[in-house]
Structure 1
Amino acid sequence: MRSERWWQEASVIDGLFHTPTAYEFIQTTRLLRHDPIFNQVQHWADRFSFESSIQLNFPVSELESLNLVDDKIELKNLMVGLLGIQGALPYSYTQKIKLSPRKQRDEVQKFIGLFNHKLTAQYVDSSLVYNLPVRYEIDQNNHYLTILHALNGFVRQQHQPSELEDFFAEFSGLMQGQNNNVHALKTMLHCVFKQKIEIKEFIVETFQLNDVQKTSLGSLAKNALGLNTFCGEKVRQVDGKIEVQIGPLTYPHYLDYLPGKGLSEQLRKIFKSWCDPTLHVDVRLILKRTDKKAVQIGANQSLGLGQGTFLMPTLTEDHNEFCYALIREI
């Protein structure tokens, strides 16, 4: 025999009926439509009765009332419908219904409720399909990732399966159609690695020109000073390199950020996928002063000086002298 109050053992459902105004409309319908005994062949909306609200006050919640009448869930919401503050019909319709006699008001509400019920059910179905946070919860295949990746131009088919796909989806808003900046990069790196991150821009680099790149008298090329020629044998560039400072780090984390290690390769993948392919990236590791270790004779240490071991470590300062090139042109 079917129990009338099938949700009594579920504390969430019980709390929903006691304080319906504390829940969102879509959240409420998702909870109530999952009746374990309900016939799945029948449409879920047949168990509900979405009535129109005639309130014209500013809505303080998404739900007005929630009741169980004759094994049917009667739900009034303030978000979507034909009447009310958010209704599709003009306010004058709602005002006339409110001022009409009680019997006539009930009859008109029941009549409008026939159309309002179908409209609300379609709204719920659409929300479950196109609401990305909801899709994340109910869709095990995570098709939403493709939609979010499209915002920042990240094509999953062009990359090997990676644990970073979720992070690129989470920060698609920062990556969408704009140049990368320090704030966006620091935000993502901090969420991925859970470490203090500092980024220095405009690191000056000096390049020595080869003899082939220099102009000479008698050359057939047309050289114009200030257009395609400048004075000097060196070039200074200030917009092609950044330095990422990570730390202070504990000793185990410090070892994992060394060149070729796990976190270092993960960091390389992020810059390769997100940043300009011509950007040079240096990484400076900061080791906590309490984790500095001195070289010991006979100890089984495979690391070199400055990469985890030191001759005379200073225990009053964090070690920040080790810096290596993460991405550099070959």
Structure 2
Amino acid sequence: MKFDTGQKIIQIVKQKGEVRPDELIRELGVSRVAVHRQLKKLVASGALRRLGRPPRVFYAIGVEFIKSAAIDSPETEKFINKNYLYVSPLGEMVSGAKGFWRWLAAIGKTKEAEVFARRFQKIRQAANQQMGKNGLIDLTAKLKNTYKVVYLEQVFCRDFYSLPEFGKTHLGQLVLYAKQSQSQKLIGKLAQESKPLINNLIRHKKISAAAFVPHSLPRQLQFLEEFAKNVSLNLPEINLVKVRSGEVIVAQKSLSKLSERVMNARETIVVENIGKLYPAVLLIDDAVGSGATLNETAKKLKAKRIAKKVYGFALVGSFKGFDVIREF
């Protein structure tokens, strides 16, 4: 294959907008293997974007990054490579520095890359300082500042859902889009990454049973049901049931007032009587916003003498107080 084949592909894509590999093979007169090899390199460099999934795949011009977008500090760039994830409006998941460039280009701030990169590092590191030795963030103090009576011994999350200025965290992005796209692959990935942290919590708090918060909205693939299968905790599971009295379903996270969220959790989640008292129960949810669901469910578990102690765990939690996470 000639050296300039990659440039010829770019010229064709620029002329036509979106191009399928078969069109390139016909126009260039080269083998399928050769074209796909060049396409892979061009996508990796950011010159082209891959659209769609087999068998309907197209290629389009990628986001062009200018030299002023470079980060001078290797340490900062390494930090971003580890901690940043960008999800484009097209659903592309781009991690690390490449994702950071894409985000900067989207907001028109590529010339201020160094400033934004250092700011992100500072805010992310400040958030990391709230993680304990167990790799989890303890949200208990925030819960106690929100409610007069807290029925949970402690509440933990893996990370914050979003950060000031920069929006959703790497984990926040994964949880949101795993749930919205009903992706078994992403949910499985989240479960496997969470399993060691949850098992460590189970050992240290001497957890004897688990309960997964039921979803408000019906979906073909329910996030926490799939998460429970993949995480496989090897503990007795207490069944929680979501019920409704009205004519329509009201998602708990769609309510903006704290009092409404408390009422929703209290009136729509039912704990089935099992006639057994567990010393410590782990209550698991995908996200902690106001904390109403976990607190009200813990109250019911204790009132029905199913749990002596209740601990809460969520993948993500709110950064500032107990804000409402509406996107779920």
TM-score for the superposition, normalised by structure 1: 0.26
Give the number of the structure whose alpha-carbon radius of gyration is greater. Answer: 1
Structure with the bigger RCO (C-alpha within 8 Å, sep 6+) is 2
Give the TM-score, by structure 2 length: 0.27
